[in-house]
């Protein structure tokens, strides 16, 4: 139990996948609220829904939170965070505790076993619908069942749930953000608190854990607002305290749709259709999966499939989960800053701040009631500002760390000084840490494998007098003679040529070279580009361009 007076908030994700932006914002607000008031922030993994849970997924959450800089005082032990006196913090490991309280309620006549089959319940639901009345579970038969009969059925192994005997009467929910709302009597029926598989339902476990873990403030998504009524009647029946509640506005896409994994499939499907791709790009999605995915719009690619396909097609995917933002090269401090602005603002037109500021300033009174709209364009401009204004060394270090996780092929191919040259040349143009990798894939593709952009080749290699190809032919032997293949020596070889043959206009020579070695018109400065590619690849690519367009 926590010491009296200490504020305790908790983030309680169900580990059904990766950490969604909405969940991340809830965690951030819970963290800021407690930490800004000398309190504790606790993390609990709600993994009692056995079908959806997985350990790896829970660990994904932990990593995502750490990446955002959201540390928890109590919870699963992970990289210096967590532990604590109120564990275990995985609900699946707390079943004995839940059972103790379940027994207490059943013995007190406040909860009862129910043996209804799914078919029976469905029949009653359909009958209510046909009669045009709202369906309410009728527990009278179960409540009247004698104890011996209940025990006999349980001993027989008949599947049973435990339902809470909801007291009749209106329920008023008090919410620090949304105000008060009263649910009329009968709105909450006798809901299930223990499932047939022996696990408690979310409603039951959450109430027990919030009490035992000393949670004083429950901040969570607005979709849980009505659930609060169930939690309140349970708290009353168990003689528990009532935490303060605050329900946070949801986060939507700018068009008002839910930010969901489906958004990624939409982008990929559109690209595949536009490019008339009949076969999946090699190593992305299995042939059967591809067929099923194309045939049915409701089929979704899994996380890795979608990422592999996006990389092969070179299309950016809309980010939905924290890990997506990391993969796209956003800075964690920018993501936190931006998430906080979705539903809250510090006032005085202040938009840019860090987590330290947030924990000092965050207050429920400035949380809005209406849904927030997630403006990716604005996020990108925040990230661009933060990246371009950071010192060069920091950018290089962050880009290296990003490359090691998401672009190992670059790290294998480039020496540390080549990498530094690439990062240095890319810094000012980078909106995210990923831009320099995404924009320079030609560096790690085979000399014969990268594609030439037809328009760029036409303009820069085939036309002009002399044509770009003519320049390449003349430069080839000069370059072959360069002794130390580095930017300075390459400049010393190319500049005099441009002075003599292109009226001193380096671009006239640099652009054909750029198209020849990269396939397009955008790359780091040409001498750096050639230096990074190395002698062999640079010459092989020039030869390929001359052969193809000469």
Please give the order of strands across the beta sheet that includes 161-164. Answer: 111-114, 161-164, 192-194
- Cβ of residue 227: shortest distance to ligand GLU, in angstroms? 7
Nearer to ligand GLU among residue 228 and residue 328 (C-beta): 228
Residue written as tokens 């997630």?
A: 374
The SS3 assignment for 515 reads helix
**Torsion over CA of 488, 490, 492 and 497, rounded to 10 degrees?**
-150
CA dist., res. 284 & res. 278, Å (int):
13
- Cβ of residue 196: shortest distance to ligand GLU, in angstroms? 20
CA angle 459, 465, 468 (to 5 degrees): 45
Strands 244-248 and 217-221, by their bridges, are parallel
- Cβ of residue 173: shortest distance to ligand GLU, in angstroms? 14
CA dist., res. 277 & res. 294, Å (int):
10
Q: Which of 35, 261, 264, 431 is catalytic?
A: 261
Q: Report yes or no: 363 and 7 within 8 Å, Cβ to Cβ.
A: no
- Cβ of residue 40: shortest distance to ligand GLU, in angstroms? 16
CA dist., res. 348 & res. 345, Å (int):
9
Binding-site ranges for ligand GLU (CB under 6 A): 12-14, 46, 206, 220, 224
DSSP alpha helix (H) spans, 407-467 = 408-413, 416-426, 435-438, 454-457
Nearer to ligand GLU among residue 46 and residue 435 (C-beta): 46
Nearer to ligand GLU among residue 61 and residue 293 (C-beta): 61
Close Cβ partners of 319 (under 8 Å, ≥ 6 residues apart): 21, 325, 327, 328, 330, 376
- Cβ of residue 343: shortest distance to ligand GLU, in angstroms? 16
Nearest CA to 247 among 272, 217, 280? 217
Q: Which two tokens stand for residue 444?
A: 């790690």
Q: Report yes or no: 185 and 233 within 8 Å, Cβ to Cβ.
A: no
CA dist., res. 120 & res. 363, Å (int):
48
- Name residue 10's beta-bridge partners: 42
Close Cβ partners of 473 (under 8 Å, ≥ 6 residues apart): 546, 550
Annotated catalytic residue 508 = no
In order of 54, 71, 98, 192, the CA distances from 67 in angstroms are 20, 9, 33, 37
CA dist., res. 297 & res. 320, Å (int):
19
Count of alpha carbons within 13 angstroms of residue 93, beta-carbon side? 10
Among all residues, which ones are annotated catalytic? 261
């Amino acid at each position: 139990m926590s010491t009296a007076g200490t504020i305790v908030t908790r983030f309680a994700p169900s580990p059904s996948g990766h950490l969604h932006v909405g969940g991340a914002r809830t965690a951030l607000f819970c963290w800021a609220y407690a930490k800004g008031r000398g309190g504790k922030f606790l993390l609990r993994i709600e993994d009692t829904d056995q079908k959806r849970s997985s350990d790896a997924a829970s660990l994904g959450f932990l990593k995502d939170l750490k990446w955002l800089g959201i540390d928890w005082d109590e919870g699963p032990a992970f990289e210096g965070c967590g532990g604590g006196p109120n564990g275990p913090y995985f609900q699946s490991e707390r079943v004995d505790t839940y059972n103790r309280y379940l027994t207490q309620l059943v013995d007190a006549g406040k909860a009862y076993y129910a043996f209804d089959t799914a078919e029976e319940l469905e029949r009653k639901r359909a009958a209510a619908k046909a009669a045009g009345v709202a369906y309410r579970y009728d527990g009278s038969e179960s409540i009247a069942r004698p104890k011996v009969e209940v025990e006999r059925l349980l001993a027989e192994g008949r599947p049973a749930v435990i339902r809470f005997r909801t007291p009749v009467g209106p329920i008023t929910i008090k919410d620090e953000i949304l105000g008060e709302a009263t649910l009329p009597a009968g709105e909450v029926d006798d809901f299930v608190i223990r499932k047939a598989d022996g696990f408690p339902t979310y409603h039951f476990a959450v109430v027990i854990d919030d009490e035992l873990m000393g949670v004083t403030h429950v901040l969570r998504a607005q979709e849980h607002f009505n659930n609060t009524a169930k939690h309140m009647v349970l708290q009353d029946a168990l003689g528990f305290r009532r935490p303060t509640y605050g329900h946070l506005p949801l986060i939507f896409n700018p068009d008002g749709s839910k930010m969901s994994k489906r958004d990624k499939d939409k982008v990929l499907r559109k690209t595949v259709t536009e490019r008339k791709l009949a076969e999946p790009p090699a190593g992305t999605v299995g042939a059967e999966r591809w067929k099923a995915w194309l045939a049915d719009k409701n089929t979704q690619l899994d996380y890795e499939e979608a990422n592999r396909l996006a990389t092969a097609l070179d299309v950016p995917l809309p980010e939905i989960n924290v890990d997506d933002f990391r993969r796209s090269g956003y800075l964690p401090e920018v993501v936190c800053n931006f998430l906080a602005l979705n539903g809250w603002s510090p006032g005085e037109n202040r938009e840019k701040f860090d987590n330290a500021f947030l924990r000092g300033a965050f207050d429920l009174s400035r949380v809005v009631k209406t849904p927030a709209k997630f403006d990716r364009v604005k996020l990108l401009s925040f990230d661009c500002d933060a990246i371009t204004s950071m010192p060069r060394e920091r950018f290089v270090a962050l880009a290296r760390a990003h490359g090691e996780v998401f672009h190992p092929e670059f790290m294998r191919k480039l020496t540390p000084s080549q990498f530094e040259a690439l990062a240095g040349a890319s810094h000012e143009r980078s909106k995210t840490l990923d831009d320099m990798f995404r924009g320079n894939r030609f560096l790690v593709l085979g000399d014969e494998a990268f594609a030439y952009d037809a328009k760029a080749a036409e303009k820069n290699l085939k036309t002009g007098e002399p044509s770009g190809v003519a320049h390449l032919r003349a430069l080839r032997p000069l370059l072959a003679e360069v002794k130390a293949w580095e930017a300075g020596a390459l400049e010393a070889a190319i500049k005099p040529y441009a002075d003599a043959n292109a009226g001193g206009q380096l671009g006239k020579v640099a652009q054909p070279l750029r198209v020849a070695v990269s396939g397009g018109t955008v790359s780091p400065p040409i001498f750096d580009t050639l230096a990074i590619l190395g002698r062999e690849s640079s010459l092989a690519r020039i030869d390929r361009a001359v052969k193809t367009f000469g």
